[in-house]
Chain A
Amino acid sequence: MLSTNIIKLAVVTLTMITISIPAHAHRAWIKPSKTVLSGEQNYVTFDAAVSNTLFIPEHVAFRMSYLSATSPDGKELAFENVGKGKYRNTFDLNLTQSGTYRVGSASSGLRASWKDAEGKRKRWPGRGGPAKGETFETAVPKQANDLKVTYSSYRSETFVTLGQPSDEILAPSNKGLELVPVTHPNDLFATEKATFKFYIDGEPAAKTKIEITRGSMRYRNAPETINVETNAQGEFSVTWPHAGMYFLEASYEDDKAEAPATKRTGSYSATFEVLPL
């Protein structure tokens, strides 16, 4: 009995650890009910979850504390009617200004791995994130066997528009791997070509690997994932085969990191709605 409880506890802890780093191993998505809205004001409701079958919540919820929403004027917008579910969290946004809104999560920082004196693999931060008060300087040895330091960035987001689409909140922060739209992300139509750029720390991110998958995966046998790569200007295009909610995942890697890092990685994902013509 006692051992069963210990196992249960261990499972629960493990699950919590997984959520805290949604970018890894699972797809972390934020799905709006609609992305193109009209009216003097309107509401959009969102589901946020971490699960591989798009967009079925079946693994863990996307932690609300990681998320924030930005209005077209750049101000933060509060979530309304937050509901915490086992597999997904839900929330509403009241859109009162005309323009494009962003909802998402972004983070970046140093990661390190090395081998200690006994040859045991060590990582920082641990899977649950850095311990309180712990910093790269205090937690990672200056010299160690097989020491690898990576500067990594992570971003997951989605966009919704009330009225006329706007560009203000689409401007890159020049930090991490970011999508820079050429085609507006709330103006996507089936059979049409859309073009976007990827930037890494404000520079074009050439050879970013991109996977684009339509939702409703549960109701077909093949994932039908579209694979593309950015060109030297960091640009890529996609022709949407069907209408639907799509999930875009991108990853980038180079060795142009600032010391103490030797490697730079970027991970990005976004949910896009493609409407029928």
Chain B
Amino acid sequence: MFKIMCKLLAIASVIFTTSVHAQSLLQLEVTIPRLQVAEYHKPYIAVWLEDQKRNTTQIAVWYDVEMENGKGEEWLADLRQWWRRGGRKLEMPIDGITGATKGPGSHKITIDLASLLKNQRSGDYKIRVEASREVGGRELLQIPITLPIKSKDLPITVTGKRELDQISLTIKE
């Protein structure tokens, strides 16, 4: 019953597409594939918002944040596009953005995406997700979005071929 209520609430907020409430229900999920390889290392992953002029807003960076003396930062440049599109300007780590690498499976982005998007101007954007794995490959995916985001446009899912599985922007249930 509670679940149904929640769903109803979600639907209600979907109708008022631009309401803060509706946006606070936004969720981004990144799925890292399980790979059958001889030597597996968890990938470095960066997630960011990019406008049409390539201005970026950071959403998440998962790297070897625990290594001593910032050693884990030495491979951040392998996230090539992220590095170029703002990563190289940053002082790592960043509270609320950076975190440890994650293994195969589905991972929810913890940042309040709704508030982050609400602070942006209206227009076309891309949520970009880049993955780079040691002894592995690199992959870059993007979810095109228009702000303010309309619930009718959701969910949006893109699927990678190698280093990333599904990336979904959904309304929380």
Query: Nearest residue in B to A187 (C-beta to C-beta)?
Result: B84
Within 8 A of B (CB), among A169-193: 187, 189
> Cβ of A164 < 8 Å from any Cβ of B?
yes
Chain B, interface size category, equals: 10 to 19
Say yes or no: is B81 at the interface (Cβ < 8 Å to chain A).
yes
Q: Provided the pairs A163-B88, A164-B89 are in contact, do residues A36 and B76 lie with their beta carbons within 8 angstroms?
A: no
Among A40, A163, A164, A276, contact of B69 (Cβ-Cβ < 8 Å): A40
CB distance from B89 to the nearest CB of A (A): 5
Complex contact A38–B81 (CB within 8 A): no
Does chain B have a CB within 8 A of A37? yes
Q: Tell me, rounded to whole Å, the shortest Cβ–Cβ distance linking B76 to chain A.
A: 4
Q: Given A163-B88, A164-B88, A164-B89, are A39 and B74 also a contact pair (CB < 8 Å)?
A: yes
- The majority secondary structure among interface residues of chain A is loop
Docked complex: B67-100 residues within 8 A CB-CB of A: 69-71, 73-77, 80-81, 83-84, 87-89
> Chain B residues near A40 (CB, 8 Å)?
69-70, 73
Q: Which range holds the interface residue count of chain A? A: 10 to 19
Contact of A36 among B69, B70, B83, B89 (CB under 8 A): B83
In angstroms, Cα B2 to Cα A110, docked, is: 89
Asked if residues A39 and B83 are in contact (CB atoms below 8 Å), the reply is no
B77 touching A36 by the CB < 8 A rule? yes
Chain B positions within 8 Å of A189 at CB level: 84
For window 47-80 of B, CB contacts with A under 8 Å fall at: 69-71, 73-77, 80
Which B residues are in CB contact (< 8 Å) with A187? 84
The chain B residue sitting closest to A39, CB to CB, is B74
A21 within 8 A of B: no
Complex: A163 Cα to B81 Cα, angstroms = 13
Q: Is the CB of A38 within 8 A of B80?
A: no
Chain B residue at minimal CB-CB distance from A98: B88
Q: Kindly state the separation between the CA atoms of A19 and B73 in the bound complex, as whole angstroms.
A: 40
Interface flag for A239 (CB, 8 Å): no
A161 CB to closest chain B CB (Å) equals 8
Contact of A37 among B69, B70, B71, B77 (CB under 8 A): B77
Complex partner residue of A277 from B70, B75, B81, CB under 8 angstroms: B81
B positions within 8 Å CB-CB of A: 69-71, 73-77, 80-81, 83-84, 87-89
Please give 16 more A-B residue pairs, beta carbons under 8 A apart, in addition to A38-B75, A39-B71.
A36-B77, A36-B83, A37-B74, A37-B77, A38-B73, A38-B74, A38-B76, A38-B83, A39-B70, A39-B76, A40-B70, A40-B73, A42-B74, A163-B88, A187-B84, A277-B81
8 A-B pairs with CB atoms under 8 Å apart are: A36-B83, A38-B76, A38-B88, A39-B70, A39-B76, A40-B73, A275-B80, A276-B80
